[in-house]
Amino acid sequence: MCHCEERSDAAKRKIETMLNLIFFGPPGVGKGTQAARVAKFYKLIHVSTGDILREEIRLKTDLGMKVKDVMARGELVSDDLLIELLENTCSKHKGAKGFVFDGFPRTLRQAEALDEMMNRQDCKVAKVIALEVPAEELLRRLVNRAIEQGRTDDTVEVIKNRLIIYRNYTQPLIEFYKKKGIFVGVPGVGTIEDVFASLCNVIDNRY
Ligand code: AMP
């Protein structure tokens, strides 16, 4: 067997064995909670770009200072910064069984960059799982979260802004992933346990 055939066999095995998932949906849909549970259960690395950026702000790093105001307004941080952040984060976990991406990608450019990154590493995204919650319930959850956590990025105006930005920039990715045949919607209402069970069902029957 020639060397390139050996390499392509190894690449194929990696694609088959690694489990990369994208958790998709508007702010407040419960992505973070479920992504963390799924990552723990399937022993995957949970990559929440929102959490990483909030930690950068807490530590007052250069990156944190750069993104602070944009995040406080509920706007999107630049694609360049996010793509670099994601590549750096993933490169720290070489040999991982897979990743649960939570809050990334949020734009077409980010989705294309993720594809390129996956291709470069002989990996792929197995499923894009969208949690689906009715709009009124979403707003109610976001307002409650703002009150409970005192999240400065969650005042009512900012919440509305985040939902508009989601609709304009992130929602169009649904078509992008539907065309690839990897998009699946899961009801995000019910107990955390119920939603988790539906997610496991989708993940276990992903082939
Ligand atoms: P999240 O916790 O995922 O809702 O993210 C909180 C905030 O972080 C967002 O409102 C954005 O300002 C920023 N952010 C997180 N992920 C991204 C991303 N993929 N692209 C651009 N901005 C992001």
Domain boundaries, the chain: 29-201
Which band of pLDDT confidence, cut at 50, 70 and 90, is reported for residue 150?
confident
Both structure tokens of 167? 């609709």
Residue to substitute in 101, 106, 152, 159 for testing ligand 1 pocket (most ligand atoms within 8 angstroms of CB): 106
Burial class (CB in 10 A: 0-12, 13-18, 19+), 185: middle
- Quick one: pLDDT at residue 1? 46
Mean pLDDT, residues 162-186 taken together? 97
Q: Does the pLDDT of residue 31 top 50, yes or no?
A: yes
Q: Considering only 16-20, 62-66, 185-189, which range has the smallest mean pLDDT?
A: 16-20
Atom of ligand 1 nearest to the CA of 51: 2
User: Which tokens go with 126?
Assistant: 């197995």
| pTM, rounded to two decimals | 0.91
Please calculate the CA angle 16-18-23 and round it to the nearest 5 degrees: 115
Report the share of the chain in percent with pLDDT over 90. Answer: 73
What integer is the mean pLDDT of 14-37? 90
Q: Say what the pLDDT of residue 37 is.
A: 98
8 Å CB contact between 86 and 49: yes
- Return the residue matching tokens 């069902």: 201
Q: Quick one: average pLDDT of 30-54?
A: 97
Least confident residue range of 5-9, 76-80, 87-91: 5-9
In Å, what is the CA distance from 58 to each residue of 8, 68, 185? 43, 10, 34
Start-to-end Cα distance in the chain: 29
Within 6 A (CB) of ligand 1 lie 27, 49-50, 53, 70-71, 74-77, 82, 103-104, 106, 110, 162
pLDDT of 155 reads 82
pLDDT band of 146, cuts 50, 70, 90: confident
174/132 Cα distance (integer angstroms): 12
Q: Which of the four pLDDT bands, split at 50, 70 and 90, describes residue 158? A: confident
According to CATH, the superfamily of the domain at 29-201 is P-loop containing nucleotide triphosphate hydrolases (3.40.50.300)
Is-cis flag, bond preceding 105, omega within 30? yes
Smallest CA separation from ligand 1 atom 14, residue = 50
